[in-house]
Structure 1
Amino acid sequence: MSVFALGIELDGEGSHPAAWRHAHHPPGESVSGPTLKQKVRAAENAGFTFATFDDSILPPNGGIKARVDAVNRASFVAAATSTIGLVPVVETTYAEPFHTSSQLATLDYSSRGRGGWIAARVADEAAASAWGRPVLHGRTELDREQSDAITVVRSLWDSWEDDAVIRDYATGRFLDRDKLHYIDFDGKSFSVKGPAIVPRPPQGQLVVFGTEADREQVDVVLVTKADRDSAVQAATASDGLAFVEIDVTLDTSEATAAERLSDLNQHQPAADRSRLQYTGTTTGLVELLTELARDTDGVRLFPTVIDEDLPALARYVLPALFTAGVAHRPVPGSSLRGNLGLTRPANRYARIS
């Protein structure tokens, strides 16, 4: 199944640190449940394949210095949505992978198979203090902890076979103990015996997103490059799915994209995130995404101000892509894996009969 996936980042008020100044609600409502539901429902109604939710144990840089845990946000909107994939960031550095596995499996149940996970590193030593862990030094240690965490989380998802739950009330048997498995992982930072405390998720394995350095362990590589040619080159080098990350600032009826950025930067300059940048008309963005669809598997868009850019995306950009057949709305009742063209994986521990 060939797909071109459309993802959107919905953390805070937008990717710009001054985005809160242009939000369509008071700052005090930024982290409220109704505000979150409104944004995610708007993205779902627009036809986005998945929404992501940034997170860190450390406070956000710039803007409003508060956020609710990303897995909790995704789980909260699960019952209020039906087709859009819900993909929180969960950092692997210093965190306990057993808890990460349980939280994400629960998200997959609450969303009926629409869960995903962006596995992220954190290099700031303040995170070690927050977790009460010794500091990891250098990229090698961060990469090793990331690899170990993904290995443990994926193994725990498989530690229950699909038919391990019996629920035979007449005999009083509710589990087949032979279909629960120890994972027996012993690493440098942690050891995990297992099995999990949550049965195997509906998707078997949630969709795992990561960086180019994680390509051997993830389902989707998120490509962060500052120019189009480099992004396409990196995406085509991936054996699996590769999505290009793009910062998006669009013209609105009130101001051009350049004017909007200039106004925001007067309050607080945006940090350089080394992502592909698009600033301009909705027509130009449609053309860019159409070009990327020829060589890549999808995109994750970072709207500069969600309340201003998401309506423009919903009204002008996604409809044009759907009409041209470049992208398609998620199929109702399908899992996130299904909407990305991924099959449900076999359980690594299941006996082959």
Structure 2
Amino acid sequence: MAPSTGPLHLAAAVDGTGSYAAPYYVELARLAERGTLDFITLDDSFGPPGEGSGRPDALAVLARVAPATERIGLVPTVTTTHTEPFHVSCAVATLDWVSRGRAGWTVGVSATEAEARLVGRRPAAPAAELWAEAGEVADVVARLWDSWEDDAEIRDLATGRFIDRDRLHYVDFEGGHFRVRGPSIVPRPPQGHPVVAVDATDPVTRDTAARHADVAFVRATTPDAAGRIRDELRLRAGESGRDPGALTVLAAVTVDLSDGEYAAGPGSARGPLTAVDDRPPLYRGGPVDLADLIAGWHTAGAVDGFHITPAAPPGDLERFVNGTVALLQHRGLFRTFYPGTTLREHLGRPRPANRYALAREGAR
């Protein structure tokens, strides 16, 4: 675990069980944007009541949030199980167009029999199989985004030509779970490839994260534990032919700032994290101690930043932005303005070249 030399990245979840009105999500997104956070996430699942549902469609909600915001990245969870990759590709590309280059998606899977029964296609599969399928979905989705070259649209009224067919490509993907011919019905997104995020806490997800993710979330209660996962992910990314530095690793933490400057636990000056089953570790304390924790983990090279889930939004998100983030900005550890307009620019990642355009140029 080497000391960090890169910028600090911060993101936040805007989940709110039982909240269906658009102004609720718009308010949270604008609050996060005032803090210049890289992006917000919104969770989703196919689960029936009592198993994670009771909320509107995450991707549709953030499509509504997009015109009400200007710079904040928008990253909904999109379930790959029981969902056609062609539809995933089109939906996320549309969000990128609606937001003018601020879209991403968190790869999700449906692991329960209850979710399988809702769709009625097949029984629930083991986790390893679900994540192998999710990796194939991420692969073919990126191919479909590239199936239109950037200059494929002609829009020539004089000749009546809308598309240059030489710049549309069949992806002809055949994997272990499906076949997709393509091309997409949506032009290549503004970012080329909207950002892909994966929760890489469970080892079964790490191959998919290392091969396909731009952002990986990890759950750990100590910087050493987080650093080990980060190092493993980057090693795997390099082994799969990727630039290990292209993977941004964020520590996922639930924050309860309701007690203000809550005293840290014995022997700790930074508000220790408490493990919580099936959820991010819990931080309960004050904004100042949380700023110290974030700065300490990042400076030590454990993670590239933090993904915060407010325990009680909007109050805890407001305390995080106006307290913790403001303090990090005052210390010069976090930016005070957005350096660009797209989510990839927030993360310091270049716009990917189109694989089919590169192949065509290479053939020349």
Q: TM-score, normalised by structure 1?
A: 0.86
Once the two structures are TM-superposed, the CA of residue 327 in structure 1 deviates from its matched residue by 1.6
Counterpart of 2:288 (choices 274, 283, 286) is 283
Query: What residue in structure 1 maps to residue 297 of structure 2?
Result: 292
Once the two structures are TM-superposed, the CA of residue 12 in structure 1 deviates from its matched residue by 1.0
- For the pair 1:180 / 2:168, whether they are aligned, the reply is yes
Query: What residue in structure 1 maps to residue 351 of structure 2?
Result: 344
**Letter of the aligned partner of 1:230 in structure 2?**
A
The CA distance in 1 between the partners of 2:49 and 2:195, in whole Å, is: 25
Give matches, 1:124-135, under 5 Å.
124-135=112-123
- For the pair 1:75 / 2:63, whether they are aligned, the reply is yes
Once the two structures are TM-superposed, the CA of residue 128 in structure 1 deviates from its matched residue by 1.7
The CA distance in 2 between the partners of 1:242 and 1:11, in whole Å, is: 21
**Letter of the aligned partner of 1:179 in structure 2?**
R
SS at match of 1:88: strand
The CA distance in 1 between the partners of 2:49 and 2:290, in whole Å, is: 28
Query: What residue in structure 1 maps to residue 38 of structure 2?
Result: 49
Q: Would the alpha carbon gap of residues 182 and 62 (structure 1) be closer, same or farther in structure 2, given more than 3 Å must change? A: closer
SS at match of 1:118: strand
4+ residue runs over 4 A deviation: 60-63, 255-258
Query: What residue in structure 2 maps to residue 20 of structure 1?
Result: none
Counterpart of 2:21 (choices 29, 32, 55) is 32
- For the pair 1:157 / 2:145, whether they are aligned, the reply is yes
Give matches, 1:188-337, under 5 Å.
188-212=176-200, 213=206, 214=208, 215-237=210-232, 238=234, 239=244, 240-252=247-259, 272-273=277-278, 275-294=280-299, 295=301, 296-329=303-336, 331=338, 333-337=340-344
The answer to whether the 8 Å contact 2:36/2:336 transfers is yes
Q: TM-score, normalised by structure 2?
A: 0.84
Once the two structures are TM-superposed, the CA of residue 113 in structure 1 deviates from its matched residue by 0.3
The CA distance in 1 between the partners of 2:74 and 2:336, in whole Å, is: 15
The answer to whether the 8 Å contact 1:83/1:330 transfers is no
**Letter of the aligned partner of 1:6 in structure 2?**
L
Query: What residue in structure 2 maps to residue 21 of structure 1?
Result: none
The answer to whether the 8 Å contact 1:225/1:274 transfers is no
Once the two structures are TM-superposed, the CA of residue 208 in structure 1 deviates from its matched residue by 0.4
**Letter of the aligned partner of 1:306 in structure 2?**
P
Instruction: Point out where structure 1 has 5 or more consecutive residues left out of the alignment.
Output: 14-26, 259-269
Greater RCO (Cα-Cα under 8 Å, separation 6 or more): 1
The CA distance in 2 between the partners of 1:257 and 1:204, in whole Å, is: 46
The CA distance in 2 between the partners of 1:152 and 1:2, in whole Å, is: 31
- Percent identity of the aligned residues? 41
SS at match of 1:79: helix
Query: Alignment RMSD, CA only?
Result: 2.2
Once the two structures are TM-superposed, the CA of residue 277 in structure 1 deviates from its matched residue by 2.5
Once the two structures are TM-superposed, the CA of residue 187 in structure 1 deviates from its matched residue by 2.7
Q: Would the alpha carbon gap of residues 145 and 78 (structure 1) be closer, same or farther in structure 2, given more than 3 Å must change? A: same
Counterpart of 2:11 (choices 1, 4, 7) is 7
Q: Would the alpha carbon gap of residues 232 and 88 (structure 1) be closer, same or farther in structure 2, given more than 3 Å must change? A: same
Q: Would the alpha carbon gap of residues 4 and 60 (structure 1) be closer, same or farther in structure 2, given more than 3 Å must change? A: farther
Query: What residue in structure 1 maps to residue 92 of structure 2?
Result: 104
Q: Would the alpha carbon gap of residues 336 and 186 (structure 1) be closer, same or farther in structure 2, given more than 3 Å must change? A: same
The answer to whether the 8 Å contact 2:8/2:333 transfers is yes
SS at match of 2:12: strand
Count of residues paired in the alignment: 325
The answer to whether the 8 Å contact 2:48/2:115 transfers is no
The CA distance in 1 between the partners of 2:51 and 2:135, in whole Å, is: 30
Once the two structures are TM-superposed, the CA of residue 32 in structure 1 deviates from its matched residue by 0.4
**Letter of the aligned partner of 2:41 in structure 1?**
T
The answer to whether the 8 Å contact 2:152/2:168 transfers is yes
Once the two structures are TM-superposed, the CA of residue 189 in structure 1 deviates from its matched residue by 2.8
Once the two structures are TM-superposed, the CA of residue 144 in structure 1 deviates from its matched residue by 1.8
Query: What residue in structure 2 maps to residue 19 of structure 1?
Result: none
Structure 1 residues 162-200: Cα deviation after superposition (integer angstroms, max 9, x where no partner)? 000011111111100010001111233321110000000
